[in-house]
Amino acid sequence: MRKKNINRKLKFAANMPPLYHTLPGEKYHYSKSEVLDWLSKRPMLIEYIYEQASNAGLIIYDSATGIWTGVEYDGD
Protein backbone atom coordinates (compact mmCIF):
# COMPACT_ATOMS: atom_id res chain seq x y z
CA MET A 1 0.00 0.00 0.00
CA ARG A 2 1.33 3.42 -0.98
CA LYS A 3 1.82 5.93 1.83
CA LYS A 4 -0.09 9.18 1.37
CA ASN A 5 1.99 12.30 0.93
CA ILE A 6 0.82 14.48 3.83
CA ASN A 7 1.93 18.07 4.18
CA ARG A 8 4.02 18.43 7.35
CA LYS A 9 1.85 21.35 8.43
CA LEU A 10 -1.17 19.06 8.69
CA LYS A 11 0.47 16.33 10.73
CA PHE A 12 -0.61 18.04 13.96
CA ALA A 13 -4.14 16.77 13.26
CA ALA A 14 -3.00 13.24 14.04
CA ASN A 15 -2.95 14.29 17.71
CA MET A 16 -6.52 15.60 17.83
CA PRO A 17 -8.41 14.32 20.88
CA PRO A 18 -11.87 12.73 20.53
CA LEU A 19 -14.27 15.50 19.48
CA TYR A 20 -17.73 15.81 17.93
CA HIS A 21 -18.22 17.30 14.49
CA THR A 22 -21.98 17.03 15.01
CA LEU A 23 -23.13 17.19 18.61
CA PRO A 24 -25.29 14.23 19.68
CA GLY A 25 -28.99 14.88 19.17
CA GLU A 26 -28.41 18.12 17.24
CA LYS A 27 -28.33 19.07 13.59
CA TYR A 28 -24.91 19.86 12.21
CA HIS A 29 -23.81 23.47 12.19
CA TYR A 30 -20.20 24.47 11.68
CA SER A 31 -20.30 26.89 14.62
CA LYS A 32 -21.04 24.00 17.02
CA SER A 33 -18.37 21.63 15.68
CA GLU A 34 -15.79 20.74 18.31
CA VAL A 35 -13.54 19.47 15.52
CA LEU A 36 -13.61 22.75 13.59
CA ASP A 37 -13.09 24.72 16.79
CA TRP A 38 -10.04 22.63 17.70
CA LEU A 39 -8.59 22.86 14.18
CA SER A 40 -9.15 26.62 13.97
CA LYS A 41 -6.97 27.18 17.02
CA ARG A 42 -3.92 25.56 15.42
CA PRO A 43 -1.49 28.13 13.93
CA MET A 44 0.00 25.55 11.54
CA LEU A 45 -3.40 25.04 9.92
CA ILE A 46 -3.93 28.77 9.49
CA GLU A 47 -0.46 29.09 7.93
CA TYR A 48 -1.16 26.12 5.64
CA ILE A 49 -4.43 27.67 4.42
CA TYR A 50 -2.69 30.98 3.79
CA GLU A 51 0.07 29.28 1.78
CA GLN A 52 -2.43 27.26 -0.24
CA ALA A 53 -4.49 30.38 -1.09
CA SER A 54 -1.36 32.33 -2.00
CA ASN A 55 0.17 29.55 -4.12
CA ALA A 56 -3.14 29.04 -5.92
CA GLY A 57 -3.22 32.74 -6.82
CA LEU A 58 -6.43 33.34 -4.85
CA ILE A 59 -4.86 36.11 -2.80
CA ILE A 60 -2.23 38.53 -4.07
CA TYR A 61 0.25 40.81 -2.36
CA ASP A 62 0.69 44.49 -3.19
CA SER A 63 4.27 45.37 -2.26
CA ALA A 64 3.49 49.10 -2.46
CA THR A 65 0.85 48.90 0.29
CA GLY A 66 1.91 45.72 2.09
CA ILE A 67 -1.65 44.41 1.78
CA TRP A 68 -2.97 41.04 0.63
CA THR A 69 -6.29 40.97 -1.29
CA GLY A 70 -8.52 38.31 -2.78
CA VAL A 71 -8.33 38.32 -6.57
CA GLU A 72 -12.11 38.60 -6.89
CA TYR A 73 -12.56 41.27 -4.20
CA ASP A 74 -14.75 44.02 -5.65
CA GLY A 75 -14.64 46.58 -2.87
CA ASP A 76 -17.65 45.45 -0.84
Confidence grade of residue 1 (pLDDT, cut at 50, 70, 90): low
Q: How far apart are CA 10 and CA 7, in angstroms?
A: 6
Which of the pair, 10 or 37, is modelled with greater confidence? 37
Residue 3 has pLDDT above 70, yes or no: no
Taking only the tens place, the pLDDT of each residue in 30-53 is 999 999 999 999 999 999 999 999
Q: Residue 2: its pLDDT value, please?
A: 60
pLDDT of residue 75: 84
Percentage of the chain modeled with pLDDT above 90? 83
* Cα dihedral: 64, 69, 73, 75 (round 10): -50
* Main-chain phi, psi angles of 52, to 5 degrees: -65, -45
